[in-house]
């Protein structure tokens, strides 16, 4: 049926085999539309209705450091972490943000708004998420400045290292790569969820960032959250969001809360009587299938290579599996191709060049979480490129 995403879409393949060559496949952004089909199947389970008179106030919880955070949202996020086991939640302060993008800016502010005379350096191991340099330097702040690749970075001054695990763009599992005692770590764990990678431990870091965008796929809801050990940092982050946007949409927080609650309820056996596939099973299976198909298209294809991953045991799934990241970090192996993104663009596939991630243009990042339709064309086209002359 057309509602079953495990059946691949009928638009491509059968009979229409050569007619889609002109279709431009835009996989530049990590737009998680593959999740739409799942939530559609959940029907009204995640629907909320908000009458016009409700949630008019700026305030949500005056007793919380993060006074604009809806208690139901905070509860739902903690409940999900406890279910999945991907983050320690005890003795932590939570701050909600308009996406984790706002929290990134809030945490930079919180860590650097001191009486430093010079801007504090911010580094991350290359290849790093392309938004970090842009966000860090957007306002040409006197507080912080982007200082690039964390490998081989050394200084006597305090600095910030962002650790992204699993990493965007290459899906690798990461730890800090610097060792200075002046280092302050931010852990961006946007992809530390069991559809992408084995959950091996509950992250117990000083500052961790999570987002709806990559966990349930609700990128448009623009809700992220930070778990922070130090209340002073949570206070300053809250202050940043208070000054910049006077809080975070309550409507969005309530929608996020509902979605997270529905997800956790599925693992409560008495609530799952309808036998619908649970979210993390569904999303795990889609990613598994996609990675198999991508590897089948690219393996034995001398033009391209993909990162290799080793399996690990996932405490949440109770099974061992290999990472199946939200992005493919594709390398053009052909010597005549210097710019992989450019080469793929010539074949109507849009990805993001490795150069935006502090890496080589031999690499290109391709989203693995877009629609089945686009993904199907992607694999077919890549497999077809094998026999073609460049
Ligand atoms: N961190 C990482 C590593 C990401 O890949 C993204 C989204 N591409 C974000 C943060 C930002 O996500 P959002 O603002 O949608 O929460």
Which CATH architecture best describes the domain 25-40+278-385?
Answer: Alpha-Beta Complex (3.90)
Nearest to 352 by CA among 375, 371, 333, 327: 327
Q: What is the pLDDT of residue 4?
A: 38
Is any ligand 1 atom within 6 A of the Cβ of residue 169?
A: no
CATH of segment(s) 71-265: 3.40.640.10
Provide the ipTM.
Answer: 0.99
Residue 52 CA to ligand 1 center (angstroms) comes to 31
Contact 221, 70 (CB under 8 A): no
Is any ligand 1 atom within 6 A of the Cβ of residue 215?
A: no
What DSSP state is assigned to residue 46? G
Which residue's CA is minimally distant from atom 1 of ligand 1? 190
Which residue's CA is minimally distant from atom 5 of ligand 1? 168
Residue 99 CA to ligand 1 center (angstroms) comes to 7
Q: What is the pLDDT of residue 272?
A: 56
Is any ligand 1 atom within 6 A of the Cβ of residue 305?
A: no
What DSSP state is assigned to residue 50? -
Q: What is the pLDDT of residue 298?
A: 93
Outline where DSSP puts E strands in the chain.
25-26, 93-98, 120-124, 144-149, 159-164, 183-188, 207-211, 223-228, 304-305, 312-314, 319-321, 327-332, 349-350, 352-353, 363-367
Which residue's CA is minimally distant from atom 13 of ligand 1? 99
Q: What is the pLDDT of residue 386?
A: 74
Residue ranges per structural domain of the chain: 25-40+278-385, 71-265
Could you report the per-residue pLDDT of 301-359, keeping only the tens digit for each? 889 999 999 999 999 999 999 999 999 999 999 999 999 999 999 999 999 999 999 99
Residue 188 CA to ligand 1 center (angstroms) comes to 8
Is any ligand 1 atom within 6 A of the Cβ of residue 166?
A: no
Backbone CA torsion sign across 163, 169, 171, 172: negative
Taking residue 58's Cβ as centre, other Cβ atoms within 10 Å add up to 11
pLDDT digit of tens for each residue in the chain (390 aa)? 333 333 333 344 444 455 788 899 999 999 999 999 999 999 999 999 999 999 999 999 999 999 999 999 999 999 999 999 999 999 999 999 999 999 999 999 999 998 888 999 999 999 999 999 999 999 999 999 999 999 989 888 999 999 999 999 999 999 999 997 899 999 999 999 999 999 999 999 999 999 999 999 999 999 999 999 999 999 999 999 999 999 999 999 999 999 999 999 999 876 555 667 999 999 999 999 999 999 999 987 889 999 999 999 999 999 999 999 999 999 999 999 999 999 999 999 999 999 999 999 999 999 999 999 999 999 999 999 875 555
pTM metric for this prediction:
0.93
Residue 190 CA to ligand 1 center (angstroms) comes to 6
Could you report the per-residue pLDDT of 98-108, keeping only the tens digit for each? 999 999 999 99
Is any ligand 1 atom within 6 A of the Cβ of residue 136?
A: no
Q: What is the CA radius of gyration of the chain?
A: 22
Q: What is the pLDDT of residue 275?
A: 66
Residue 152 CA to ligand 1 center (angstroms) comes to 25
Is any ligand 1 atom within 6 A of the Cβ of residue 224?
A: yes
Residue 100 CA to ligand 1 center (angstroms) comes to 6
Nearest to 223 by CA among 325, 95, 80, 105: 95
Ligand 1 atom with least separation from CA of 129: 3
Q: How far is CA 117 from CA 114, 136, 178, in A?
A: 9, 17, 23
Ligand 1 atom with least separation from CA of 326: 5
């Amino acid at each position: 049926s057309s509602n079953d995403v495990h059946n691949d879409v009928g638009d491509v393949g059968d009979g229409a085999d050569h007619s889609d060559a002109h279709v431009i496949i835009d996989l530049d952004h990590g737009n998680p539309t593959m999740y739409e089909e799942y939530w559609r199947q959940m029907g009204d389970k995640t629907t909320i209705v908000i009458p016009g008179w409700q949630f008019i106030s700026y305030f949500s919880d005056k007793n919380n450091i993060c006074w604009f955070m809806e208690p139901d949202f905070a509860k739902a996020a903690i409940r999900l972490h406890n279910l999945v086991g991907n983050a320690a939640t005890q003795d932590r302060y939570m701050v909600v943000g308009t996406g984790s993008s706002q929290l990134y800016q809030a945490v930079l502010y919180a860590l650097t708004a001191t009486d430093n005379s010079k801007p504090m350096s911010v580094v991350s191991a290359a290849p790093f998420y392309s938004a970090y340099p842009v966000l860090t330097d957007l306002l040409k702040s006197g507080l912080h400045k982007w200082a690039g690749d964390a490998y081989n970075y050394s200084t006597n001054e305090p600095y910030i290292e962002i650790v992204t695990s699993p990493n965007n763009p290459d899906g690798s599992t990461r730890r800090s790569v610097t060792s200075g005692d002046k280092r302050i770590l931010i852990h961006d764990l946007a992809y530390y969820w069991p559809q992408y990678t084995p959950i091996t431990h509950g992250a117990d870091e000083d500052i961790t960032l999570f987002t709806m965008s990559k966990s349930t796929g609700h990128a448009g809801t623009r809700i992220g959250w930070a778990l922070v050990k130090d209340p002073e940092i949570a206070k300053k982050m809250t202050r940043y969001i208070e000054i910049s946007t006077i809080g975070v949409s309550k409507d969005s927080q309530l929608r996020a809360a509902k979605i997270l609650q529905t997800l956790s309820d599925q693992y409560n056996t008495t609530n799952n009587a309808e036998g619908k596939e649970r979210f993390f099973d569904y999303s795990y299976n889609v990613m598994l299938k996609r990675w198999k198909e991508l590897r089948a298209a690219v393996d034995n294809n001398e033009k391209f290579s993909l990162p290799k991953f080793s399996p690990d045991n996932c405490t949440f799934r109770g099974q061992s599996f290999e990472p199946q990241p939200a992005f493919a970090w594709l390398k053009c192996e052909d010597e005549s191709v210097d710019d992989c993104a450019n080469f793929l663009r010539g074949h109507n596939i849009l990805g993001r060049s490795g150069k935006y991630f502090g890496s080589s243009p031999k690499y290109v990042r391709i989203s693995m979480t877009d629609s089945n339709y686009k993904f199907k064309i992607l694999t077919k086209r890549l497999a077809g490129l094998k026999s073609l002359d460049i």
